[in-house]
A = this chain, B = another copy of it.
Amino acid sequence: MSISEAGANAAIVAARRAADEIGIPMNVAVLDHGAALKAFARMDGALLGSIDIAVRKAKTAALFGMNTEAIGEFCRTTSPGLELTNGGLIVFAGGIPIHDQQGRTIGAVGVSGGTVEQDQHVAAVAATAAETSLKGAAQ
């Protein structure tokens, strides 16, 4: 199963609200479980250089089913240069997988535009919103 349009939209809407609350315009990318683009939004004023970062964060999280900073931990410990694979991964926080109710990765969200902590916060809100929307749809 892969993330639906409704789930992707829930992620985008939640990310936008969370970014507005902290006053930082963000780029938000939602990819499906195969790392193909599902939805994207660049808020007014978000950094142009962050478009690619948001997409790569989501790609990294989708391809490995892990938060991007966890991939970064592998780079530092057991797997130097891992970030050079798959056309370039992002190995700091801001990419988070989205799971279905059985715990399978169905996509990922990537957020970029603020500090790493801000990006991570907004991505977490977005991933949770997508997962919550799945539960609503399943009822």
Contact = CB atoms under 8 A, between A and B. Distances in A.
Interface of A: 4-5, 8-9, 32-44, 47-49, 51-53, 56, 60, 62-65, 72, 75, 78-92, 115-116
Most buried by B among A32, A82, A84: A84
Contact of A85 (B4, B40, B56): B56
Closest 7 CB pairs of A and B: A34-B34, A49-B63, A40-B40, A49-B64, A81-B83, A78-B116, A52-B86
Contacts of A53: 82, 85-86
How many copies, total? 4
Nearest to A35: B48
B90 A52 contact: no
A26 to B, nearest CB: 11
A51 B36 CA distance: 8
B92 A49 contact: no
A96 to B, nearest CB: 15
A53 B49 CA distance: 17
A83 to B, nearest CB: 4
A114 B25 CA distance: 33
Contacts of A90: 81, 85
A119 to B, nearest CB: 10
Contacts of A44: 4-5
